[in-house]
Structure 1
Amino acid sequence: MTVLSQAGGGEDVGLVTLRPGEAGAGAAQEDALGYLYRAHRLSLVRLAVLLVGDQSTAEDVVQDVFTAVCRRWRVLDDGRSVLPYLRRAVVNRARSVLRRRRVANAFRPDPQRHADSAEDTVLLASEHREVLAALRRLAPRQREVLVLRYWAGLSEAEIAEAMDISKGAVKSMTHRSLAALRKRMES
């Protein structure tokens, strides 16, 4: 069985394999999953919100990811950090949600747009609203690379791993996405 171990006090969460007969294997897994959930759920929900556009769907995406991690726990014993796996799973699940949403909208005769709540509108400064509106108008992959780079603060290597593309593609996509965002902000 695989459980989390945290080196030092940092964010690096690795995996350790416990043998099925070892004492505390079940409890250790529950403790590890609980720690993982408490430590990273909020940042993963924020990431998902920026990708899918609404909080309830983002929370569902993250919950589905943690459910999948719980089911695949035995497979995740390669000793690498779990956090990149979770980020990649959130990005992939968000893509699936957006694909399903596009298909559903194609067959919906009168698509209705969700209006921002009055609280959300008041709390965000006008500049932030403009940036978020322009970000929503970008292509999904462009939005993903900008969110991962500038909101999540990931390195090019981490973005490449999360999006399953090369580091060179991350650089060029980031450059093109920023240009598209500037263009949308000017119009």
Structure 2
Amino acid sequence: MGPAAPGFDRPRRGLWSFLLRRERLSAEAPPARAQPYRHAYTYTHDRTGGDHGPQPTVTELYHAHRLRMVRLAVLLVDDLGTAEDVVQDAFTALYRRHGERIAEVDNALGYLRTAVVNTARSVLRRRRTARAWTPPTPADVPSAEASVVLDEAHREVLAALGRLTARRREVLVLRYWADLSEAEIAETLGISRGAVKSNASRGLDALERILEGRI
């Protein structure tokens, strides 16, 4: 059997499938205030003068997408406390730059996602040595949010992701957790679509070997 072609349609085995079962994690998350706003964030601003859908505010984006952004950041920085700081910084930067109403941003959610990735990247650069993942809250008294974001299988995936190069980790998280397309990942990370394919293929190979205990 020949090697799989680079890309996103390769079979995934073992604990990696946990990362793809977002429906279960979403079902555990509090339905909370996010639901009424969900459809508001398909809004895009047309530079020719027309608006498509209601304009989101920073507050509405925060209520609808904060937890999802924290989950994304956790997969990049491997600890919940730091992930929360990363997301807070991203929302703060959005507010400082554009104010509460962000009509001039073509894709506010994409802007936030890129800000989270870039801030996480800065955090990782400041870590001069790699370290093992440690729970951000005591195991016997987990916070409500920690129990939503993390469980034992998820922690194993986090540890495995932490052993990948930063670029491969970012590509895999954005593709298989955030469900971004190849083009969206390329835009978010500022790389070519070919680089996205290459990092996805090599990252999956490395992740599977780690999770299966082969490296």
TM-score range, shorter chain: 0.7 to 0.9
In 2, Cα distance between equivalents of 1:161 and 1:97: 21
Residue 55 (structure 1) aligns with: 80
Q: CA RMSD in A?
A: 3.1
In 2, Cα distance between equivalents of 1:66 and 1:43: 13
Q: Does 1:66 align with 2:85?
A: no
Q: Percent identity?
A: 56
Please, which of 200, 205, 208 is the counterpart of residue 179 of structure 1?
Answer: 205
Q: Which residues of 2 match residues 153-164 of structure 1 at below 5 A? A: 153-164=179-190
Indicate the SS of the match to 2:57: helix
What TM-score do the two structures reach when normalised by structure 1?
A: 0.72
Maintained 8 Å contact 1:13/1:83: no
Count of residue pairs the alignment pairs up:
159
Decide which structure has greater helix share: 1
Q: For structure 2, list consecutive stretches of 5 or more residues without a partner in the other structure.
A: 1-37, 48-54
Maintained 8 Å contact 2:133/2:159: no
Q: For structure 1, list consecutive stretches of 5 or more residues without a partner in the other structure.
A: 1-7, 18-28, 106-110
Indicate the SS of the match to 1:165: coil
Cα distance change of structure 1 residues 93 and 81 upon mapping to structure 2, 3 Å threshold: same
Q: Which residues of 2 match residues 36-51 of structure 1 at below 5 A? A: 36-51=61-76
Residue 167 (structure 1) aligns with: 193
Indicate the SS of the match to 2:44: strand
Residue 26 (structure 1) aligns with: none
Q: Does 1:14 align with 2:41?
A: no
| Deviations 1:138-164 (CA, angstroms, capped at 9, x unpaired) | 111111111111111111111111111
In 2, Cα distance between equivalents of 1:182 and 1:113: 18
Residue 115 (structure 1) aligns with: 134
What TM-score do the two structures reach when normalised by structure 2?
A: 0.64
Task: Answer with 1 or 2: which has the greater Rg.
Answer: 1
Maintained 8 Å contact 2:169/2:203: yes
In 1, Cα distance between equivalents of 2:117 and 2:58: 20
